[in-house]
Structure 1
Amino acid sequence: MSAAIDHAVLAPRPPAAAAAPSRRSLLGLSREAMATALVEAGIPERQAKMRVQQLWHWLYVRGVKDFADMRNVSKDLRQLLAEHFEIERPEIVEEQISVDGTRKWLFRFPARGAGRPVEIETVYIPEEGRGTLCVSSQVGCTLTCTFCHTGTQRLVRNLEPGEIVGQLLTARERLGDFPDAATPQGAIVPSEGRLVSNVVMMGMGEPLYNYDNVAQAIAVMSDGDGLALSKRRITLSTSGVVPMIGRTGEEMGVMLAISLHAVTDELRNVLVPINKKYPIAELMEACRSYPGLSNARRITFEYVMLKGVNDSLDDARQLVKLLRGIPAKINLIPFNPWPGSPYECSDWDQIERFADLVNQAGYASPIRTPRGRDIFAACGQLKSESERMKKGDRLALAAAVAE
C-alpha cells in the first residue's frame, strides 16, 4: 500500500506589513548574479567573491536552508543576509510513497506578482545503482499531448531557476542525501553513492518553452563546487521544439530525449500536437545535427505504447527506418492510465514483439518498468490538480488503475 504524508494543514499566518520589501531568493542565481546582489545589499565589492563561495558551499554542498546555520559567517553578516535575501525551498504539501519506493512530492511555490501560490509535482525513482529525480519546469503545460495527464492542466506560469533547483534540494534533504541529513528508515534508495545521482527534465511542462530559466538551473545543478551533477547525468526531454534543440546542445550540453510516440505526421499531429508546427522530418534533422551526438552520447527517443494506435510491427519497422543514422536508443513506455484517458496500454506480448524487432535492427529498446502507478507518479501521470481531490476519491481511482 502506498503511504502519504500530508503537510497541507498549516497554521494561519498573520498578514504581512504593506510596506515590507520582498526579499530576493539566492537559490538558482549564477555566481555573478549572486555577487551583484550581495554588493547591492551592502557587502563590500572586494568581499563579494569570497562571500559567494561561502554561500555556494552552504547552499549546495551542506544543504542548509537557514542563514543561521552558516557557522563560518559572522552574526552581523547573517543578519544582513536574512534581511535582504531568502533561501526557502518549496513547501511540501504532500509526500506519497509507492509500494516500489517511488516518491512523489506535491510542492507549493509562493505567488509571483499578483498571482496565487502554485503547485507542481516532482518524482524520485530509486533503482539499483542510481536514483533519478524527475523535475518539473512549468506549472501546467501548453502542449496538450492527448496521452499525457499533465497536458490536461492549463499552463499557469514558468518556474524560476531557484524553483527548479529547489526541487532537487528538497528531494536530497528528504532522502538524507546531504551530509547532515538522515535517510528515512525503510526508504528504498541506492545501496551506495549519491541517492539522487540523475536528473531528468521530464516532469510537468515543456523545458524548451522555459529555456532561460531551465538553462540557468542546469548550470547551478552541474556546478562542480556545488551540487556537482555531471551533464551526462542530466537529461532534458522535449516534445520537439525544433528551433531550440541545437541551442540546447551548444549551451546546456546535456543529454537529449525526444518525446516521439508516432512515426507518421498524421498520428503525431494527434498525439503530440506541436508536430503540426514542427513535423517529424524537421525534428529528425535537428536530432541528426545535435551538438556532441555520438555513440557515447546517444539521443533517447521516448515511445509510449498505445494499444491499437502506434504499437504494430509495421510501426516498429517505420521507427527503425526513421531513426537510421542517428545514434539513439528507444525507451518503450507502457502507457500509464489516468482517469478519463481515451487510451489503453498495449498488451505486454505486443510490446515485447515491438522491442525485439527494434533490437534486431541494432537499436537498444528497453521497456521501461512502470513505477509509482499506485500514486499517479508514473510517466505521463503528473498533474498537480489531481492532488486537490479528496483522499477517498484518490484511493478509489488508484484501485481502479490497479485493476
Structure 2
Amino acid sequence: MPVPPADLPAPQDRFSDPQRAWAYRPASPLPGTPGGPLSGLSFSVKDLFGVPGWPQRAGTRAPLPDFGPSVLVRRLLDLGASAAGKTQLHEVALGITGMNAFGGTAHPFDPERLPGGSSSGAAVSAALAQVNFALGTDTGGSIRVPAAWCGVVGFKPTKGHAAWSTRGVLPLSWTCDHAGPLARDLKTVVRVHEALSGQRVQPRPWSGVRVGMWLPLDWVTPDVSGAVHAFAAGLEAQGALISRVELPEMLGAYTPIVLSEAAQVHAAALAQPDPGFTPFTLGLLRQGQALSEDAVRAAHALRAEYRAMLDELWASVDVLLAPAVPTPPPLAGQDEVELPAGPVLLRRAVLRLSAPFSLLGVPALAVPSSQPYVGVQLIAPRGADERLLGLGLGLNP
C-alpha cells in the first residue's frame, strides 16, 4: 500500500472528497469560542452526534430517533475548537468496514481498500489532515479499528468518562458505546483530553511497567504478529517487563448485548413495512429483535464473568498490549480474511480483538506500529485514562 504523502494540505484548506468521507460540510465551520484552550483547532463530527442546524443521517435511509444535541460537541466549541462538518460512518455504526446506504468510505491512501469503521470518515478526515482531530464513537472497536487501518491515533476512554459525554449521540448500544478522538498525533489527542477533563497528562517512563502481551497467533496474519512483537521489543528496550497473557473470545457476550440494544434503539423504523436499512444492517437488527430476554440476560452474566477475569489480570500487569486489527486493510467488498487457522468472516476476525475492551469499558489507545496501517492497542484498567495517555507520550518514536 502507498504511504501517506508528506505534503498533506493544511487543516484549514478547502478540499475535495474522493474518499467520500464527509456526510455534511456547511458553507463555513461552526466557530469555537475565541481564546479557549482549543482555539485554532478544527474537528470533524461523526454523523451520530446531534448538532443543531446540521442534518443527521447516520449513514442510513431509515428514519432515526432524535436524541438531541451533543453535549460533547457543544463543550468542544466552548473550549475554542471549530467544527468543520459531519463525517460518514458504517450504517448506524453497526459494522467495521465503513459501508453504508450512500456507498461508504474508501481508504485515505488506497482507494481499493477499506478504512475500517464504524468511524470511517472520522479516520480519513484525520489521516488526510483535513481537520486537527476527529470525533468518533467506539462500541466494539469503531475508533481503534479505523485508526489502525488508516495510520492514525485513536483513543477510547473509560466507559462513562465525564469528559467524553455520549449524551446527544444516536446510540448503538448503551452498554458498550464510547465517544473519543482520532488524530494524526498523540499530542493532539492529549491536548483535547486535557482541555475536556481538566487533568494534566505527563509523559510516563516505561521502565518497570508490567506489560501483558495478548497475541492470539491464530487470529492475526504474520505481519500483524510481527508488528506486535516489534512493538513489544521496543517497550522492552525502554525497560518494560513483558509477559504473555491469554483472554477468551468475548463475542458470545458482546453480540447479543449490542444487537438487542440496537434493535431497541431502532424499534420504530423496524416496525415499518420498509424500514429503510440496507439488507446486511437490517439482518443484524432483526437478529437483535429475535433474541429472548433469557439470552440477553445470559450475555450480561457472561460479561460480568469476563469483567471479573480482567479485574483479576490487573493484579499481575499494569497495561495490556494487543493487536488492534487482525490484518492490514482489506479490499473493498472483502467479507472474509485468511488467517493461520483458516478463513474467518471479517466482522468476527476484527471484533474478537477489539470488542472485549468496549464490552468491559476500559480505556484503550490505538497507535501506529512499524508495519504501515497495522496499529496496536494499549489497554489500561478502568479510570487509568491519564496514565495510559502518559505512557503513550512516553513511547520512543
Give the TM-score, by structure 1 length.
Answer: 0.27
- Higher helix fraction: Structure 1 or Structure 2? 1
Could you state the TM-score of these two structures normalised by the residue count of structure 2? Answer: 0.28
The higher radius of gyration belongs to: 1
Say which structure, 1 or 2, has more relative contact order (CA 8 Å, 6+ apart).
2
